[in-house]
Amino acid sequence: MAKEKDDNYWRERLTAEEFRVCREAGTERPFTGEYWDSFEDGKYLCRCCQEVLFHSSSKFDAGCGWPSFDAEASAGVVEERADHSLGMRRVEILCANCGSHLGHVFPDGPTDTGLRYCVNSLSVKLDPDTEPQDD
């Protein structure tokens, strides 16, 4: 399982900023990430282990400056844990496969799920849907 990899393993595979966010629970500044305003069709994979975490069909503009989704790609791919850092009560979300920090989930989503998975762009990688072109 990918959770068993040590920091040296991840430092060799991630940029310094990706490591800070994914492995040290950092946060990128709002409105700066690659996917905050992208609505291209595809799957959002874990930056570290390539697990499918979210689908573009669940992405919405939350106005917060980070990619936001109302549901995980399939049950159990995202793990939750209490986060009491910065004097706040939040729920951290992590890749269930490798333990990579993704962001936080909030119960204020505008869709039927009522959830807003607020994700760092550096934690995910978009795998765009590609359709064969007709000649």
Q: Could you read off the pLDDT of 41-63 as tens digits, one per residue?
A: 999 999 999 999 999 999 999 99
Q: What is the pLDDT of residues 3-33, one digit of tens each?
A: 678 889 999 999 999 999 999 999 999 999 9
Say how far apart CA 28 and CA 67 lie, in whole Å: 11
Please state the pTM of the whole predicted model.
Answer: 0.90
Q: Copy the structure tokens of residue 134.
A: 């007709």
Q: Which residue among 22, 48, 64, 118 is the active-site one?
A: 118
Distance CA 51, CA 123 (A): 11
Q: 2.170.150.20, 3.40.50.12780, 2.60.40.2130, 3.30.1490.440: which CATH number matches 2-127?
A: 2.170.150.20
End-to-end CA distance of the chain: 43
User: Was 46 annotated as part of a binding site?
Assistant: yes
Name which of 50-59, 82-91, 95-104 the model is least confident about: 82-91
Say whether 22 is catalytic: no
Residue 79 structure tokens: 């793990």
